[in-house]
Structure 1
Amino acid sequence: MADSLPAPAVAAVPSRKRRDLLRFVAVLGGLLLFNFVAQRFFFRLDLTEEKRYTMSPATKKLLSNLQQPVTVTVYLTGDFPPSFRRLEQAVRETLTEFQVYGGSNLHFIFIDPSAASTEAARSEFYTSLFKKGLKPTNLGATENGKRVEKIIFPWATVTLNGRSKNVLLLRGNQAEAPEVRLNQSIEGLEYELANAIRVLTPDLRKRLGVVMGHDELTNEQAGDMLGAWQQQYDVFRVDLSKVRDLKALDALVVAQPKTPYSEDEKFKLDQFITQGGRALFFVDALRVDLDSVSRNGVALATPYDLNLDDLFFKYGVRLNQNLVLDLNSGQIPLVTGMDGNRPKIEPMPWQLYPLINKFSKHPITRNLDAVYLKFAGNIDTVKAAGIRKTALLSTSRYTRVLPAPVPINFNDARLEPNPKLYQNSFQNVGYLLEGQFTSLYANRAKPGTMQFQPEKAAEARPSKVLLIADGDFIRSDIDAKTGKPYRLGYDRLANTEFANRELVLNATDYLLDESGLISVRGKQITLRPLDKVKLAEQRRGWQLLNIGAPLALLALFGAVRVWRRKRRYASFGAQY
């Protein structure tokens, strides 16, 4: 009689099938459950050390509250070297993250300006972008030991409700290496794009007053800065002698006054600041009248009497009566000879026009390019309870300080400066003051009355004040042909644009923006460059590893899988 098969072996097949089916159903159910939970409860994980992909709360709130569609058109795309593609990729990642919080109200597109099929069409498109204010940049980099240059349009245009704003994506300090500047640009992407959306979003606009009545800068001289402010704020000219108070304003600008303030006018300034109003002062300590230059090219810088010294002193700073000279300086045009019957004019270094390239790490000045000063003095700090003082701008290591009165001889520009005289390093020329300011008139009578002022008024609130010891800081040169002001910071001799405009806009945002969006400028991304020497030496080995390792792992996985299947079915067949 033949032996029959054991009963357990007969039941093994359906048992194994049932187990596999249950495992499949469990995995499928787990995936469906995970998908359901992910749709109901949104979360994202940023595992980078500096949290480079994490949006700030101010940006999230701005994007989540969008009521109208926003379109961002980016022109930074095309066939770029790897270093430039890193900036392009960072823009894509930032906008993708924006879309998470902006939802269907935020759209973005990338357009390659070089994608036209013919040279004529490409040139026409370039011209159209240039007319919109989008200037190309010729940015260089070293790739594989060769110098690579590429004309790019590092711009984006943000459009909302029929209004548009251009956003420069390539920023940073031009004195830095290209890779450092690219990294600084990446750090500022969130702020630049979010701030453009904020500016275009309909909202209650802040009111900015520009003081007049003391020979301050005219509308033409400050024209570019006034135009930039008007894009974001309601701007008014204010005569302190004709208004009762300044409560209707959110911020006040004092730009290069030349005649004294009365006690009543100074009282209005003081009350405005101590009650929470924000202020920006661009003030000279010395008068330099270039219209009075003698035939020998000599002028004399003498102290102003603006009647503001005690106010500044009470707030914690002292505007010194001197001029700073810096070997890191701008230029002036001088006649250096004759070219036939015509004078030969050449730009010469002029140490009284300092170029400031040393900033604090504050969001106002972080990753800022150099700014341009003219006949500036330095600022000292004094004790002021409850006031936090931040030195925003400082001169270079090679600085000289001359006390008033200062003879100014333009012929000195022809001479080689003596570095041994430039030993007053890092003079502070700009301060940010924050806190609860104590009134200059506390425990005193209001000017012109017997009304006693309390030590701390009931309306007292914390405030912020910016002081830069240069009245020309927001002055634009005037185009003689058109009569219109040049863009603030543009230097015709150097054919370059300094960052005066950007600094003032950043400072105004910091003083007035209650959302805290300006703090995003403090974002920092660590630059981790590869060792270029090792990269060149080991390039072939890493290429082979990147190509061969995945293939080897795939072959190993296939071999192990085949071996396991053979072993599994061999043991199953042995039971029969």
Structure 2
Amino acid sequence: MIKKRKVLYNILMVAGILIVLNALSSVFFLRADFTEDKRYTLDRSTKRILSEVDEPIIITLYISDDLPPDVNRTVQDFKNLLTEYNHYSKRKISFEYVNPNKNEKLEQEAIEAGIHPVPLEIREKDQLKVQRVFLGVVIQVGDEFEAIPLIKPGIAMEYTLSTLIKRLTIKDKPQIGYIMGHGEPEFAAIEQVLDELSILYDVKPVYLLSEPDLEKYKCLMLIGPTGTISPTQLGSLDNYLQKGGSLMIAMERVRGMLNEGIGVSVNTGLEKWLQNKGLYVEDSFIVDKKCGTVTVQQQGFFSFPRQINFPYLPVISRFANHSITDGIETLILQFASPIKYVGDTLMEYRPLAYTSKVSGKLMAPISFNIGRDWRTQDFLYPDLTVAATLSGTMGGNEEAKICLIGDGDFIVNGFGANKISIQKDNINLFANAIDWLSDDSGLMSLRTKGVSSRPLREITDGKVFMIKYFNFLIPVVLLIIYGAIRFRRRTLKRTKRMRPGFIK
């Protein structure tokens, strides 16, 4: 009887503990994340966005029932993510789950909200069938709403969700000025980076000769100017920096014209203006053994396209420790120029990105030879700086900032038939730089969270040779040592047996 009471007491105690823990979990949220990249931990940018939420947020999940296990796992991960969002927003997020497959009215509602069905292959009873499923989300704040048409696997959903919440809840966006009138790309040619910046900023065109007040802009952008910038206009930039302004410059110091087969210097007056501030951009073409490729037509009995390495397209994977480069893994530049600091120690100069250990530079003008046989002596300038920042007082009492990149085309996606997709890290680095210049952490740390590119660390030819022969010789040496030890032991045993009076 006593034993039964003890068992009942233990059961009731365990049940009571579970009830208390369940009640506490509804008030306090705790989650342990043991992954290396903290994929199940909300980023500090997300927490900041959620802490600033004032209005209620309604999130409607249009999710079909009876999903395959792998898809259902992704949906469950997303629901867990929403639980964390609700916790850090102080319960200002409410959820609603809708199965659009139930009736035509709900299906039409989902489609009107921007959630369209997708075909999904499902295996049932050894048969493969295609089912129309909904896997979307609608986020509503007041009368405004945004849609995520498809919940994708992976932690990129945090960036998407936080971005949309920020876009719906931000009230007064800071203004960013885009300087034009000197051959800079049109808005349509930098659409990809403008889409990223439009989340947090209101980007406006700026013409220096007609703009009376530059101080209203949190930051100014100058991207790839090719025409002359007059002393009057440069003076306007000086006045802006004297009052603590910030300037983002992607400089086109050299231009490669592949159709003509030549590369030339670009002189706009900006290069001398920057040099007076201590930033010297050489009129040289960076060449790097770690580079992108171009497509050429291989001539012969048949003509076919062929990819060849083109050192004038350096691939940058070496970065300094800075908030601008946090999480950035690979940049692809084209016809870039090296940056040097020639100023005094009163200013704070910080390089951001470097070429590889096997890089060089060629003074403009040059002639391009696609089939050139590149040799070791062509890469005699390792660790060239391709991006840097400069901060300090620039003629005034307020601290000013400049971020400089030695390539004016690295975020230009073009338009029409010439439109291309820009490397994601190119866009991320530029947007991070705008955040840093604007003194706004924004989505800086979240943009690069969960990147999947993991480039191999570059090693020298000598190291490759050593590793190759080390892997080849070590097994042979170990086998010889093992054989020598076995031979020695057998010899000793034989000698011992040959002694007089030996008894086994």
RMSD: 5.0
CA–CA distance in 2 between the matches of 1:87 and 1:202?
Answer: 29
Alpha-carbon distance, 1:305 to partner? 4.1
Q: How does 1:290-439 map to 2 (within 5 A)?
A: 293=260, 298-311=261-274, 313-314=276-277, 316-337=278-299, 346-368=306-328, 370-385=330-345, 387-403=347-363, 405-409=364-368, 412-433=369-390, 435=391, 437-439=392-394
Alpha-carbon distance, 1:380 to partner? 1.9
| Cα pair distance change 1:369/1:45, threshold 3 Å | closer
**Which residue number in structure 1 is paired with residue 176 of structure 2?**
208
Alpha-carbon distance, 1:424 to partner? 2.4
- AA aligned opposite 2:405: I
CA–CA distance in 2 between the matches of 1:164 and 1:278?
Answer: 32
Q: How does 1:104-183 map to 2 (within 5 A)?
A: 105-106=92-93, 160=141, 161-164=143-146
Alpha-carbon distance, 1:517 to partner? 4.5
Alpha-carbon distance, 1:323 to partner? 0.9
CA–CA distance in 1 between the matches of 2:254 and 2:305?
Answer: 28
Q: Deviations over 1:422-447 (max 9, x none)?
A: 242232211234x4x222xx3xxxxx
2:420 pairs with 1:511: no
**Which has more radius of gyration?**
1
| Cα pair distance change 1:465/1:167, threshold 3 Å | farther
**Which residue number in structure 2 is paired with residue 472 of structure 1?**
409
**Which residue number in structure 2 is paired with residue 140 of structure 1?**
none
2:219 pairs with 1:251: yes
Q: Percent identity?
A: 24
Alpha-carbon distance, 1:351 to partner? 1.6
Question: Would you say the 8 A contact 2:254–2:263 is kept in 1?
Answer: no
SS of the equivalent of 2:89 reads: helix
Per mean C-alpha deviation after superposition, the further-off stretch among 467-476 and 219-228 is 219-228
Question: Would you say the 8 A contact 1:432–1:466 is kept in 2?
Answer: yes
Per mean C-alpha deviation after superposition, the further-off stretch among 230-239 and 156-165 is 156-165
> Which one of the candidate residues 236, 239, 242 is aligned to 1:268?
236
**Which residue number in structure 2 is paired with residue 124 of structure 1?**
none
Alpha-carbon distance, 1:307 to partner? 3.6
Alpha-carbon distance, 1:209 to partner? 1.1
**Which residue number in structure 2 is paired with residue 63 of structure 1?**
50
Per mean C-alpha deviation after superposition, the further-off stretch among 264-273 and 330-339 is 330-339
CA–CA distance in 2 between the matches of 1:362 and 1:167?
Answer: 34
CA–CA distance in 1 between the matches of 2:283 and 2:319?
Answer: 23
CA–CA distance in 2 between the matches of 1:158 and 1:473?
Answer: 33
2:245 pairs with 1:277: yes
Q: Deviations over 1:289-332 (max 9, x none)?
A: 557x2xxxx32422524244343552x53212211012232333
CA–CA distance in 1 between the matches of 2:64 and 2:239?
Answer: 48
**Which residue number in structure 2 is paired with residue 450 of structure 1?**
none
- AA aligned opposite 2:366: P
Alpha-carbon distance, 1:475 to partner? 1.7
CA–CA distance in 1 between the matches of 2:412 and 2:190?
Answer: 5
- AA aligned opposite 1:210: Y
CA–CA distance in 1 between the matches of 2:255 and 2:301?
Answer: 35
Alpha-carbon distance, 1:520 to partner? 4.8
| Cα pair distance change 1:326/1:336, threshold 3 Å | same
SS of the equivalent of 2:409 reads: helix
- AA aligned opposite 1:337: Q
SS of the equivalent of 2:222 reads: strand
CA–CA distance in 2 between the matches of 1:385 and 1:132?
Answer: 56
Question: Would you say the 8 A contact 2:33–2:41 is kept in 1?
Answer: no
SS of the equivalent of 2:171 reads: coil
Alpha-carbon distance, 1:211 to partner? 0.8
| Cα pair distance change 1:90/1:290, threshold 3 Å | same
Alpha-carbon distance, 1:377 to partner? 0.6
TM (norm. structure 1) is 0.59
| Cα pair distance change 1:501/1:31, threshold 3 Å | closer
> Which one of the candidate residues 425, 428, 433 is aligned to 1:499?
425
- Give the count of matched residue pairs: 426
Question: Would you say the 8 A contact 1:74–1:108 is kept in 2?
Answer: no
| Cα pair distance change 1:227/1:194, threshold 3 Å | closer
CA–CA distance in 2 between the matches of 1:45 and 1:416?
Answer: 56
2:419 pairs with 1:486: yes
- AA aligned opposite 1:424: Y
Alpha-carbon distance, 1:234 to partner? 2.1
Structure 2 unpaired stretches of 5+:
102-110, 120-133, 452-504
- AA aligned opposite 1:98: Y
SS of the equivalent of 1:273 reads: helix
Question: Would you say the 8 A contact 1:332–1:350 is kept in 2?
Answer: yes
CA–CA distance in 1 between the matches of 2:382 and 2:64?
Answer: 40
- AA aligned opposite 1:326: D
**Which residue number in structure 2 is paired with residue 286 of structure 1?**
254
**Which residue number in structure 2 is paired with residue 99 of structure 1?**
86
Alpha-carbon distance, 1:469 to partner? 0.6
SS of the equivalent of 1:241 reads: coil
| Cα pair distance change 1:43/1:260, threshold 3 Å | same
CA–CA distance in 2 between the matches of 1:524 and 1:224?
Answer: 20
SS of the equivalent of 1:413 reads: coil
Q: How does 1:534-545 map to 2 (within 5 A)?
A: none
Alpha-carbon distance, 1:512 to partner? 3.2
| Cα pair distance change 1:168/1:203, threshold 3 Å | farther
| Cα pair distance change 1:203/1:133, threshold 3 Å | farther
- AA aligned opposite 1:407: I
